[in-house]
Amino acid sequence: MIGWVPPALLLAVPFTLLLAQLLHALWHSGRCRYRAVLLLTVAGVALGQVWDVVGLPALRLGQLDMLPAILFASGLQVFGRRLSLRLP
């Protein structure tokens, strides 16, 4: 069963959660809602994977494209204060 899951997916989930925690604690200092930071971090990691699909150069950890993912996620954090999520 674990053979069906791509290794990039296994690495992407903990990497995204770790990066979201670091950005929330260090960049926003708790001033921004964690949900907004997590959503923007997920978008940044997804853009980093698109960067890899296009074939541009990157720093890899297995199949996970780290450097563009970190850069995109950090760049999107600027919008964290403006993003309002109203979930029940």
**What is the residue extent of each domain of the chain?**
8-79
2 has a pLDDT exceeding 70:
no
For the question of whether the overall pTM of this predicted structure is more than 0.85, the answer is: no
Mind listing the pLDDT tens digit for each residue in 19-73? Answer: 999 988 888 776 778 888 888 899 998 898 888 888 888 777 666 778 888 888 8
Q: Rounded to the nearest 5°, which phi and psi values hold at 68? A: -60, -35
Please tell me the predicted confidence (pLDDT) of residue 43.
92
| Angle between helices 7-22 and 66-76 in degrees, nearest 10 | 40
88 has a pLDDT exceeding 70:
no
